[in-house]
Amino acid sequence: MDAEHYAPQIAALVAEHGEVPPPWAYYPRIHPYSIHWRMGGGEDYRYLFWTWAASRNWSLDDRIAYVRRWDPPFSWLDWVGEFLWPDAFSDDDEHEPSVDPFEEMEALGFGTRADWSRCSDVDPDKYPLADDVSSRWLESKPA
């Protein structure tokens, strides 16, 4: 889909939230590896988010500030790493970074590789773990 397709939705989200919320906030409590993100509403929202994100001239500091505003759960740290340092991730492996941004994320206070592994490896039916939550989750959206 192109930017023109998502423009009305992006404008509405920006009007409501000041920016487009990240996936974990827009569809709270849905495991990051759920099929939801590969079809239907979740997939569409991913495309909408990346369309909006690509339209912005982000510095690393801008990206870090954005992530801080939206308080990512540990289970989303691989996504956070890819968002902050997109060049550190390869297309060859969907879940593991080609270099380890987890030390940087730990230094920034986002969590550790161990936090991510523990929280992302949980059974989707038991997701999220009690300490794997976001203070910025929005009201549930239709799946």
Residue range 123-140: mean pLDDT, rounded: 89
State the burial class of residue 38 (Cβ atoms within 10 Å of its Cβ: 0-12, 13-18, 19+): exposed
Structural domain for 46, as ranges? 3-126
Total domains, the chain: 1
- pLDDT tens string 26-70: 999 999 999 999 998 999 999 999 999 999 999 999 999 999 999
47 domain-assigned? yes
pTM, two decimal places: 0.88
Q: Distance (Å, rounded) from C-alpha 59 to C-alpha 140?
A: 30
104 domain-assigned? yes
138 domain-assigned? no
137 domain-assigned? no
Rg (CA), the chain: 15
141 domain-assigned? no
56 domain-assigned? yes
140 domain-assigned? no
